[in-house]
Structure 1
C-alpha cells in the first residue's frame, strides 16, 4: 500500500444507503475520465433494479459501469470474487488511461480489496443445507445461541436475526473446528491497489433516516412488490438465496407469503434499511480509525459534491479538468 500522500491507483466512494453515493459519483464522472466499479452486493443481480436503487440506463451512460448485472438472482457472489474482479478491472481501467472509481456500500467488499482475505474454507452446500434445516425448525436466534457455545466472540458480534452471517460462521467453525478469529488470522498476500477512500457519514442520523423513508416509499410506489413477483415468476428462487436476503426483497417476499400486510411490509422494510445503514456506518468508523487514506465527509452537507471533488483533487495533486 502506498503512503497516503502518494497518487492513488483508484478512488473509493463509500457510504450508507441513501447517503447520495451515486449522485456524487456521477457528478465526479462528469469531470473525471473514469470508469465506475460497483461495490454493492445487490447490484450484481440482474433484473433487481427498483429495490437496489440501481443506476438508471441514462446514469450508466455517463461513464462505463462495472459489476452491475453480472449474475442471475439464483446465483451467489462472494467477497473473494469481488476482490479478484476488482483487482482485474482496476488494472484494465488504468491500462486505458482512466481512473477507477469504486462506489458502493458493501463494506466487506472494500475491506477484502484493501486488506486481503483470510484462508477460509469454501462453502459446503450440504452443511449449509443442514444448518438451514436446523434453523427452519429452531429459528435463527436458536442457531445464534448454538454459535455462542462454539464461538462466543463471533456470536457477540452478530445480531441473533442475521441469518446469512450466522450460517457462514457456523459453517466455518464446524468445518475447521476453530473459532472465526483463528480462521481470519491468516491473510493472503495483499496485492491491493493504493486507494483514496472517501466515506460519506451522517452528522444527523435522523435526517438520514428521513432520506431512507423517502427512498423506500419511492421504491414501493415505483413497483417493488411487482418486481419481486416478476422475479419469482422468472427464476427458481427461494427465500434463503442471497438475492432474496437483500433488504427490501426479504420483506416483500415475507409480505407475499402472508406474514404481514402492506403496512407491516413498510414498517419492517424501513427498520431493516435503518439497521443496514447503522451497520455500514459502524464499519466506516472502524475504517476511519485504521485507514490513514480515508477522508470522512458529511453526506448531509449541501456542498457535498464540491467536497468530494476537492478531496479527489488533493489525492490526484491537481484540479480536475472538465471532460471534453
Structure 2
C-alpha cells in the first residue's frame, strides 16, 4: 500500500560538510522550504561561530528556526520538535516540501521518535550537578549515572556533560532512571514520509582539513569580537548551554585566560573534529540513509536525483 503521508527531506551530515550550500541550491531549484536543525543557530547574536547563513543567503533562501532564542534562554530537543513540527505542518499545507538541514542529530532523532514525559529542568539540581562536575570532574557524573541508570550510562559518552547532567537530573527529580521513562513511551507515528540524505566527504582527512579551514575563517570574520560582545552581557556566562557550543566555548575560555591564542585555535579545531566524529557515529546508525560523497564531481546531480525521485 502506497505511503500517502506528505514528504519531508532530511539533509544531514557532519559539520563543515557543505549542507547549507546544497540546501540553498535545492530551495532555488525545487522550491523546498528550509528548516534549520542546529542547536547554535537558534540563538541570536551567535552568527559567526555557528556558521549561520549570511544575510544574503537568508534573503535567497529563508531558514526557519534561526534566531528564535536569546543565548540566556534554554532550548531543548523537545522545544525543537514542537517548533519544527509546527513549521512542517505550515509548509506541507501549502503543498511544498519541508527540507530540514543541519547537524544536530539529537534534534532529528527526537523529531521522528518523539520525546519522553520527562520533568522540566530544575535550576537547583542542575547547580548541584555542575558543582560536582567542577569539583570532581565528569568521571564523577558518569559513575553516579552508572549506579542509578546503567542503561543511560552505557549510551551516553563519559565526556558529554549536558547529557550526563540531564540523565542525573531526571533521576534526582523522579527517582526513576531516564531509560525506564523512555521505555514506557508509546512509539510515535511520524506524520511525514522522510527521505534522509547525508552529505560527507568519503576521505576523513578532507573533512578535517575543511574543519580547520573553516575555524580559521571564523576567526578572520570576527569570532573573537562576537564572543567579546556576548561577554559584555551580565546575564551570560560560560556555563550556559548556548555558550558551550563548539567554538564559543574555546574562545570564551581563551578570553578568561585559560590558555593562549594558539591553544584556543588548536582546541577549537579538535573540538570541531570530535563533533564531526559524533555526528558520523549518529549517522551510521540512521535507518534508510542515502550517503553522498561531497568529494565527487557528481554530488549535486546525485542529490538532485534523490530528491526528485523521492516522489511528490
- Name the structure 2 match of 1:135: 133
Q: Is the 8 A contact 2:9 2:196 kept in 1?
A: yes
Would you say the 8 A contact 1:7–1:316 is kept in 2? no
The 5-angstrom pairing of residues 1-324 of structure 1 reads 3=3, 8-187=6-185, 189-234=188-233, 236-287=235-286, 291-292=287-288, 294-316=289-311
CA contact (8 A) 2:145 2:167 kept: yes
Q: Distance in 2 between matches of 1:200 and 1:178?
A: 39
Q: CA separation in 1, counterparts of 2:39 and 2:15?
A: 12
Aligned residues: 310
> Equivalents in 2 of 1:187, 1:62: separation in Å?
40
Residues 206-253 of structure 1 show CA distances to partners (whole Å, capped at 9, x for unaligned) of 111111011011111211111100111145211111111100111111
Whole-angstrom CA distance in 2 between matches of 1:60 and 1:250: 26
The ranges of structure 1 where at least 4 consecutive aligned residues each deviate by more than 4 angstroms after the TM superposition are: none
Give the Cα separation in 2 of the matches to 1:181 and 1:209. 34
Bigger drift between 227-236 and 177-186 goes to 177-186
Indicate the SS of the match to 1:61: helix
Q: Is the 8 A contact 2:132 2:140 kept in 1?
A: no
For 2:191 and 2:201, how far apart are their aligned partners in 1? Answer: 28
**Cα distance change on mapping 1:270 and 1:240 into 2, 3 Å:** same
Contact 2:6 2:191 survives alignment (8 Å): no
Q: Distance in 1 between matches of 2:171 and 2:84?
A: 28
List gaps (5 residues or longer) in structure 1. Answer: 318-324
Provide, for residues 76-96 of structure 1, a one-character-per-residue CA deviation record: whole Å limited to 9, x for no partner.
111111111111111111223
- Distance in 1, Cα, partners of 2:301 & 2:266: 35
Of 217-226 and 190-199, more deviation after overlay is shown by 190-199
**1:18–1:212: 8 Å Cα contact kept in structure 2?**
yes
Structure 2: which 5+ residue stretches go unaligned?
none
Moved more, 91-100 or 105-114: 91-100
Question: Are the equivalent residues in 2 in contact too, given 1:37–1:101 (CA < 8 A)?
Answer: yes
Which sits farther off after the overlay, 194-203 or 254-263?
A: 194-203
Moved more, 133-142 or 277-286: 133-142
Deviates more, 1:76-85 or 1:176-185: 176-185
Contact 1:24/1:304 (<8 A) preserved? no
Q: Structure 1 length normalisation: TM-score?
A: 0.91
TM-score, structure 2 normalization:
0.94
